[in-house]
Amino acid sequence: MNDITDERLLEINKKTLDRSNMFYWQTDKPLTMQETSILFGDRYKTISDDQLIEILNRALYQNEQLKEIKAVSISGSESLDIGSVNLNRKFKLSNNINVIGRFHPKFLHNGYFNVEVTAANLVLNNKIRCAKPVIVQYSNSNSVQDNLDFILFEMIPGDNMKFHIAKNPDDEKMLVNAAGSLMANIHSINVDGYGFFDNKIAGERNVLIGIHDSYRDHCLAGLDSNLKTIVEGQYIDQKQANNISQLLESSDLIDCEQPVLIHNDLADWNIMLDDKNNCYAIDWDECHGGDPIADIACWSLFFPQNRLSMLIDGYKDVRELPYGYLDKLHIYKLRYVVSKMTLRHKKISYDQSDLMKGLIRSGLEALDAECSYFKL
């Protein structure tokens, strides 16, 4: 890659695989905005559909259980292009099964696909709806130029929830209720350890083990860097940054005795619907172990307040919320909005779209609201 040297790509790969100082991977991955734009923004330009079919068929042939199966066609769609990390394509296989391939950007190792497979299988084993993984493939090349890691999931034969609601707005309340129930069911799964999971252990032992000893450790990961960025962006002043840091370091609201599986991005675009409008979770690349209220807090920052009530109604049909959970909700919203404003400030340097400007405005409103809640 002309704009990024092989030496720099090796450095990026090494640092990106280590999530110990990351709260939210998309925010805290160690790339400059120019590198992010090149590697992720241009990911569809670095490889052709014909090459993807060839790579997939090679991987299928090398798998003893799948060697008789081939990909016979490939296609994209608006709903597949909705993400900002992986290159997503639909494949029809020779056994008449449709699958979704999620290809990490060329030149980059993924470092979390084993966790995604393990999390999805754990959810399925608990009779909770989610897309079923078929195969995960890590490139073994010694050359960064040949890196192309990918994961294959069986396709849910229905619509993405975001697009369904856009076409059928009267279904919104029903589906957001169902999403709340889906989230609550995921939270019924206890895990060991806190924060992001160890990808190597997930691959070797098919278990999820968090890399931190406490949830506070996860919440403090990357915090200093995040605060520095949003102070430089003049979204808060240094006094507020110090107060936020002190609150997160000392508050018992972040105490979490039993970590559970947290999806960490269970918004409309990460839920698929079948022909009966049942909800299926997809995309586990930010999942971790921690406090279930944090998952609700993360979700709430994407949507208006009336939607949160819909989600919680569905959640409480399955799982009770702890007494006094609102204070917990707000402290996690504060941590997430600090992270999201960090990411948006980085993105605005190369994305001056009205959408991004709107996200900056809404993020700043949320940041002001949470600072006011805690009188920071």
Taking only the tens place, the pLDDT of each residue in 309-367 is 999 999 999 999 998 899 999 999 999 999 999 999 988 877 788 988 999 999 999 99
**pLDDT of 146 above 70:** no
Residue ranges of the chain that CATH labels 3.30.200.20: 6-154
Distance of CA 68 to the CA centre of its chain: 33
**pLDDT of 223 above 90:** yes
* Bigger pLDDT: 76 vs 59: 59
Q: What is the mean pLDDT of the chain?
A: 91
Pick from 126-140, 163-177, 236-250, 283-297: least confident: 126-140
Output phi, psi for 236, to 5 deg. -140, 165
Distances (CA, A) of 21 to 41, 75, 227: 24, 37, 14
CA distance 190 to 258: 7
DSSP 249-261: HH-GGG--SS-EE
What pLDDT does 147 receive? 62
CA distance 206 to 163: 33
Structure confidence at residue 110 as a pLDDT band (50, 70, 90): confident
What pLDDT does 44 receive? 67
CATH class for the domain made up of 6-154: alpha beta
Q: Is-above-0.85 flag for pTM?
A: yes
| Three-state DSSP class for residue 154 | strand
Under a CB-based contact definition with an 8 Å cutoff, are residues 115 and 288 in contact? no
* Cβ within 8 Å of residue 176, ≥6 positions away: 307, 310, 311, 314
Q: Does CATH number 3.40.50.720 belong to domain 161-373?
A: no
Residue ranges of the chain that CATH labels 3.90.1200.10: 161-373
